[in-house]
């Protein structure tokens, strides 16, 4: 049985993350999506909000569960008894940081391997920070995140006027 962990900030979850989750869930028996509860950064969404959005986004994938953690990833991987850490690679600019992180985690927890999944072409440019920035300036983020996530972002960033597209739909679990 191979158990994998996909860690990240997920502030918020994007279609790029969801794509990696679906693909990793096809490869491994179980996949835990781990949301970093980081007191140093000041995220847009609380860890509880990020977990909830991921739970909604992943509701249709039976072998995926959502969790959160504080502290070192290598230690969390040990406690969660996972064999593999999944990370998505978009461009070569991701690689240096990801390689360093994978090697550090391997030193700290020799039992865990990092497996990289390359971002699908249609999401290769996409990041949570870009989504937050576009939303902050009132742009349409419906092409980057599910509508229920877009709605939550606009409520945080632009509570005076939620974008039409996000407002139109009640529930949206598309991935
Ligand atoms: O979505 P992100 O922000 O790219 O995810 C980065 C994350 C959360 C995986 C990384 O920052 C992390 O693992 N932080 C926990 C602290 C840690 O273990 N750092 C040492 C790894 S070099």
Residue with tokens 């998505």: 88
Q: What is the pLDDT of residue 161?
A: 65
Tens-binned pLDDT, residue by residue, of the chain (175 aa): 899 999 999 999 999 999 999 999 999 999 999 999 987 779 999 999 999 999 999 999 999 999 999 999 999 999 999 999 999 999 988 999 999 999 999 999 999 999 999 999 999 999 999 999 999 999 999 999 999 999 999 999 977 766 444 444 444 433 3
Q: 12 lies in a domain?
A: yes
Task: Report d(CA 173, CA 175) in Å as an integer.
Answer: 6
Q: What is the pLDDT of residue 162?
A: 60
Atom of ligand 1 nearest to the CA of 7: 9
Q: 138 lies in a domain?
A: no
Q: 152 lies in a domain?
A: no
Q: 171 lies in a domain?
A: no
How many A from CA of 105 to the centre of ligand 1?
Answer: 10
Task: Specify which residues 146 forms β-bridges with.
Answer: none
Domains contained in the chain, number:
1
C-beta neighbour count of 168 within 10 angstroms:
11
CA distances from 49 to 66, 74, 99, 154, 161 (A): 12, 24, 29, 14, 21
Q: What is the pLDDT of residue 158?
A: 78
Tokens coding 77: 């991987």
Strand pairing report for 84-89 and 64-69: unpaired
For residue 9, the domain's CATH number is 3.40.50.620
Instruction: Indicate if ligand 1 lies below 6 Å from the C-beta of 101.
Output: yes
69 DSSP assignment: E
Torsion 149-171-46-159 (CA) sign: positive
């Amino acid at each position: 049985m191979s158990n994998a962990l996909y860690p990240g900030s997920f502030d918020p979850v994007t279609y790029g993350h969801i794509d990696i989750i679906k693909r990793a869930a096809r490869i491994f028996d179980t996949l835990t999506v781990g949301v970093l509860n980081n007191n140093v950064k000041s995220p847009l969404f609380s860890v509880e909000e990020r977990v909830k959005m991921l739970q909604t986004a992943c509701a249709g994938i039976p072998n995926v569960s959502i969790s959160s953690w504080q502290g070192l990833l290598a230690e969390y991987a040990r406690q969660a008894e996972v064999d593999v850490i999944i990370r998505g690679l978009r461009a070569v600019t991701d690689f240096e940081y990801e390689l360093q992180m994978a090697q550090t985690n391997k030193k700290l927890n020799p039992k865990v391997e990092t497996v990289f999944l390359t971002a699908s072409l249609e999401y290769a440019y996409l990041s949570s920070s870009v989504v937050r920035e576009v939303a902050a300036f009132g742009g349409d983020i419906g092409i980057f995140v599910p509508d229920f996530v877009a709605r939550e972002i606009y409520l945080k960033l632009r509570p005076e006027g939620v974008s039409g597209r996000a407002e139109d739909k009640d529930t949206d679990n598309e991935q």
